[in-house]
């Protein structure tokens, strides 16, 4: 399989926005019911994605845009995700959708107009590891797709159960 172009990566990363927006008409109960026993709710899953977007935007993308050193560091995923789930409980569903769109759009706006060189440039992060915009998108698109598949499966189950 051929490597994806930068434009293809940006398009794929952007594609979750209209999908999430299309879920805005779901009933609240659909947003706050776990997708399966011991699993997250749609709202928790969305806040999990959003909090990662927010973290990477604030600690990496905005810094790249401003020409400042990156402050992103390796996170304890379980702790980070637990905070995202707690945060989900403090938001309305509409606010959660709005924040997702806001941070995803901010990341995408940062990528607009970058040269291929800037898109692939390796910047040292707060841990001294390499961070690139291309690498981030390449890593997070499968993460998005994983959660989108979970959402779609849950919604299919909800429709057949009603």
pLDDT in tens, 37-70: 999 999 999 999 999 999 999 999 999 988 999 9
Can you tell me the distance from the alpha carbon of 137 to that of 107, in angstroms, rounded to the nearest whole number? Answer: 10
User: Among residues 19, 39, 43, which one has the least CA distance to residue 29?
Assistant: 43
Spatial distance between the Cα atoms of 96 and 98, rounded to a whole number of angstroms? 5
Global confidence as pTM: 0.93
| Tens-digit pLDDT profile for residues 81-125 | 999 999 999 999 999 999 999 999 999 999 987 888 989 999 999
Q: Is 97 helix (H, G, I), strand (E, B) or coil?
A: helix
């Amino acid at each position: 399989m051929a490597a994806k172009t930068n434009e293809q990566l940006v398009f794929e990363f952007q594609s979750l926005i209209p999908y999430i927006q299309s879920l805005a008409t779901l009933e609240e109960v659909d947003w706050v019911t776990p997708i399966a026993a011991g699993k997250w709710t749609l709202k928790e899953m969305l806040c999990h994605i959003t909090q990662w977007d927010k973290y990477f935007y604030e600690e990496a993308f905005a810094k790249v845009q401003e020409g400042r050193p990156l402050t992103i560091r390796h996170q304890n995923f379980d702790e980070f995700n637990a905070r995202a789930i707690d945060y989900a409980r403090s938001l309305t569903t509409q606010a959660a959708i709005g924040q997702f769109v806001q941070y995803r759009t901010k990341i995408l706006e940062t990528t607009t107009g970058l040269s291929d060189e800037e898109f692939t440039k390796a910047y040292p992060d707060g841990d001294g590891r390499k961070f690139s915009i291309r690498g981030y998108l390449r890593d997070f698109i499968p993460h998005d797709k994983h959660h989108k598949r979970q959402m779609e499966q849950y919604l299919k189950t909800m429709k057949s159960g009603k």
